[in-house]
Chains A and B, each alone.
Chain A
Amino acid sequence: MKLYSLTISEARNLLDRKEISVKDLVRSLYERVDAVEERVKAFVTITRDEAFKMAEEVEKEITEKTKVTGPLIGIPLAIKDNICTKGILTTCSSKILSNFISPYESTATSRLIEQGYVLIGKTNMDEFAMGSSTENSGFQVTRNPWNLERIPGGSSGGSASAVASDECIAALGSDTGGSIRQPAALCGVVGLKPTYGRVSRYGLVAFASSLDQIGPITKNVRDAVILMNIISGHDPLDSTSAPLPVPDFTAVLGQEIKGIKIGVPKEYFIEGMDREVEVSVKEAIKNLESLGAISVEVSLPHTGYAVATYYVLATSEASSNLARYDGMRYGLRVEGKDLVDTYMNTRANGFGAEVKRRIMLGTYALSSGYYEAYYRKAQQVRTLIKKDFEKAFQVVDVIVTPTSPTAAFKLGEKIADPLQMYLSDIFTISVNLAGVPGISIPCGFTSNNLPIGLQLIGRHFDEESILKVAYAYEQATEWHKRRPNL
């Protein structure tokens, strides 16, 4: 048996039955990493020494029974490189943070540490999470394990690719406009963006603060549920985390979906969408109906403005969030003849083209004289988009859409055309603007054997409904069992 191909719950069983040790599991994963990473390039940092140290500690705790058993004890996970891990490089795949070792631990990973997880490595991403293909990494290009000539999606392309190629049991990503769901869809794995405020952002390096959320990328829905149970919940260190109780998400696994109302937004099935994607998603909706769900057409009338709205708001926040990378306290510093020169040298050398483009866009949108026309207007449209969802959710429990308009595209195919690239997130962006939860699950393959994702969207703080439907669908289908041939 190949231990690296296990899911969290499968590995849990074997560990609890003492059929394998944590070290066996970790060793197997690094064997896999050694075998495929050269081709996949999912990791920015591989934390082999730390992982074996963590494994040893966890095993000690298991034998000494100092740790109460939990689902995550000894489970090796990969973490996106924009989530701060104490004492370990946290680069955001940016040259400007290429030497940044975080002095503190993010809340999300602190909760994983409490549960005894093992860190396999930090995964590659589009620089500062800005991109949809992971090609904007300042370090390397990650490949899609289903076809090494294709992109894994982004920006959590490293995490999705690492999960899909069995280089970790599961991973954490972050999602600002689709950065968990789109790469999950393109890599044939499960990716959940929680409701804004469900998971603490403390220690998540900010791209767009009002949109960013950390979430799991896993091999199946059950594993997503396991991780959600651990990382969710109010954090006094994040004012925007919701002071709400967190339900036990495992309770929804296996619940019937008979009678549940699923909304199909007409604006999401548009001209120009990939034919194979459309067919798969429609097939999936039929499948859900066969499980007892009732599908209803709904309208999200402001969908057409989502991408524009997103690129005003996200870049505005980013232009401010990225101001701290000035070469004064940490990270890259390129000296110049005076202060302004040092700022300019540092930022000119440290940031990649896409990051610079977005800083400029955002700076422009916030500038005096343009603020009303861009930032304020975009905020107003955001409210309208949110209301679209609220209205739809008065009628339906879950909304179903494709995750991405196409399957994985070729490396370099869209990198020269930012607008084409931005459209990769056309189906995922509204979810962030509205702050609602969304999950992508595998729902088919193209004729080229590339995965296709189905997106389920829920009400605010109702991850339970989308997880319930996702799990029911997963149980009724085989897509999630397919693995790439590496």
Chain B
Amino acid sequence: MKDVDIINVLKYEAVIGLEVHAQMLTDTKIFCSCSTKFGSEPDTQTCPVCIGMPGALPVLNKKALEFIIKTGLTMNCKISPYSRFARKNYFYPDLPKGYQITQYELPICEHGYVEIAVDGEIKRIGIIRIHMEEDAGKTIHEGEGNYSLVDLNRAGVPLMEIVSEPDIRSPREAMEYMKKLRTILRYLGVCDGNMEQGSLRCDANVSVRPAEQKEFGVKTEIKNLNSFKFVEKALEYEIKRQVKILEEGGKIKQETRLWNSERGITESMRTKEEAHDYRYFPEPDLVPIIVDQKWIDEIQASLPELPDIKRKRFVSEYGLAEYDADLLTSERPLADWYEEAVRLGGQPKAVSNWIMVELMRLLNEENKSIEGCTLKPKQLVDMFKLIEKGTISGKIAKTVFEEMYKTGKDAEDIVRDKGLEQISDEAAIDKAIDDVIAMHPKEVERFRAGEEKLIGFFVGQVMKLTKGKANPKMVNELLKKKLS
């Protein structure tokens, strides 16, 4: 869509609201006791309830209710003391009962917000509601045959749907908002946030209006946004598409569109006229959900420290830079790892540096998260002690650290087994220096003639000869003495 002038796009303002579906990390499904484990053989995690057998009845998983209340509280929502489930009726092979149990008129959480940072500015995005519902099964189209297969392992996995106000004004904000939700959900431990596996999914409602106009334009809904990048790309595309239509004097059709990630475009899926009538009505198989304030208070008290607060605390308590604190608090396990190391006596800035530089590099190389890391904070702190005692140099420590990370062995053992102790014996260093001087008579001459920067060269040679183990401070002093 090259022909849409960037100026034209700037004349318009986008209005975006997101509906985010997050799979809850409960062990069992929302209305039965089947496992929610991902990736099992098809239909091995099913029972009469989630497969929609005649006569089977749903019973609410209390853990799912707790998870959504946690989320609601974190996102500043009002928790309804009385809410209920409804049935959303439609036919599809992956929907065993012919209806989805969801919440409609009376959701559990309402009227909340989250804050996002865009270009250093804090912006509040309103949350209309968060409600519980069950996931459908998975339709698999494979092979050449004229058929599809359905795997019902996912049917009945608990979902929460987080519906934002139309407060988002750009694709960038939409992405930041999504990222924020993901961080919060992961902090709370209520969703793993894995967009590739579909544990976090997003639909977007988007419209555009001339910058000075107050009324919203006609919106379209975009489905199938299963990565942060797609959220941004699809919205960028859709905004341009809508602006182009308006600029050409056309009208936006209210419709549902599908993001085609291969072609990088949105495509019409169904128009308003073709929209389903879901015939929502209160689910008679489940009693209304009554939540007492005491339980809400207990959940509130059990909430973990959230990323924004933790970040601020890291800055003030440990004297970290804003950027470092932000990264260290992006994932709760990482922040926990950091604080454990500090608690065990690690110097706050040193711990931060080692995590940010060495540990992150090693984890990234393996595409691993901190949760999959076998290295324990105590091992890092023990290694620090070896540096302090002068047993190893800071340089050697990098080797030791990598070895610890890879083998899980303690620093002390690695240093001993590999003979990495720092050489602080004056006689041994003297000998190495003598050898270096003997090997490089020209450089000695130049140094003595006043080319003092060559000291670095000599240090390097001595370190090379001692396989990096010589005490660098002593090498420096002794070298200067011998060369002058």
Q: Which residues of A contact B (CB under 8 A)?
A: 82-84, 90, 92, 97, 100, 102-104, 106, 201-206, 208-210, 236-240, 316-317, 319-320, 322-326, 328-330, 339, 343, 363, 366-368, 371, 375
Contact = CB atoms under 8 A, between A and B. Distances in A.
Given A328-B93, A339-B93, A320 B87 contact: yes
Contact of A329 (B57, B96, B285, B287): B96
B51 A329 contact: yes
Contacts of B91: 323, 326, 343
B408 interface: no
A238 B55 contact: no
Interface in B436-465: none
B93 A323 contact: no
A104 B54 CA distance: 10
B216 interface: no
Interface stretch (B168-176, B276-284, B360-368, B474-482): B276-284
Contacts of B57: 201-202, 237-240
A323 B99 CA distance: 7
A238 B57 CA distance: 6
A72 B146 CA distance: 53
20 contacts: A82-B55, A90-B55, A104-B48, A201-B57, A202-B55, A202-B57, A203-B56, A206-B55, A206-B285, A237-B57, A237-B59, A239-B287, A320-B279, A320-B281, A324-B96, A324-B98, A328-B96, A329-B96, A366-B280, A367-B277
A366 B89 contact: yes
A143 B89 CA distance: 38
Given A240-B286, A325-B54, 19 more contacts: A82-B55, A84-B55, A103-B48, A104-B48, A104-B56, A203-B56, A204-B55, A239-B59, A240-B57, A240-B284, A320-B98, A320-B99, A320-B279, A323-B91, A326-B91, A329-B96, A366-B279, A368-B279, A375-B281
B88 to A, nearest CB: 10
A202 B31 CA distance: 13
Given A84-B54, A320-B87, A240 B287 contact: yes
Contacts of A201: 55, 57
B97 interface: yes
From DSSP, what is the main secondary structure of chain A's interface residues? loop
Contacts of A328: 93, 96, 150
From DSSP, what is the main secondary structure of chain B's interface residues? loop
Contacts of A323: 89, 91, 97-99
Q: Which of B54, B59, B277, B281 gathers the greatest number of chain A CB atoms within 10 Å? A: B54
Contacts of B286: 239-240
A202 B287 CA distance: 15
B53 interface: yes
B284 A367 contact: no
Contacts of A240: 57, 284-287
B60 interface: yes
Nearest to B93: A328
B58 interface: yes
B333 interface: no
B377 interface: no
A324 B285 CA distance: 15
A138 to B, nearest CB: 15
A1 to B, nearest CB: 38
Interface of B: 48, 51-60, 87, 89, 91, 93, 96-99, 150, 277, 279-281, 284-287
B28 to A, nearest CB: 14
Contacts of A319: 89, 279
A123 to B, nearest CB: 16
A464 to B, nearest CB: 24
B54 A100 contact: yes
Given A239-B60, A329-B96, A368-B277, A205 B54 contact: yes
Contacts of B52: 324, 329
Contacts of A206: 54-55, 285
B56 A209 contact: no
A330 B152 CA distance: 14
Contacts of B58: 239
Nearest to A91: B54
B98 A239 contact: no
Contacts of A106: 55
Contacts of B96: 324, 328-329
A316 B281 contact: yes
B279 to A, nearest CB: 4
Nearest to A212: B284
B59 A104 contact: no
Given A236-B59, A240-B285, A367 B279 contact: yes
A111 to B, nearest CB: 15
Contacts of B60: 239
B162 to A, nearest CB: 25
Closest 10 CB pairs of A and B: A323-B98, A366-B279, A209-B284, A210-B284, A205-B54, A203-B55, A205-B55, A324-B52, A84-B55, A324-B97
Contacts of A339: 93
Given A324-B97, A326-B98, A367-B279, A104 B284 contact: no
Nearest to A201: B57
A365 to B, nearest CB: 9
Contacts of A317: 281, 284
Contacts of A205: 54-55
A324 B54 contact: yes
B147 to A, nearest CB: 10
A326 B59 CA distance: 23
Contacts of A202: 55-57
Contacts of A320: 87, 89, 98-99, 279, 281
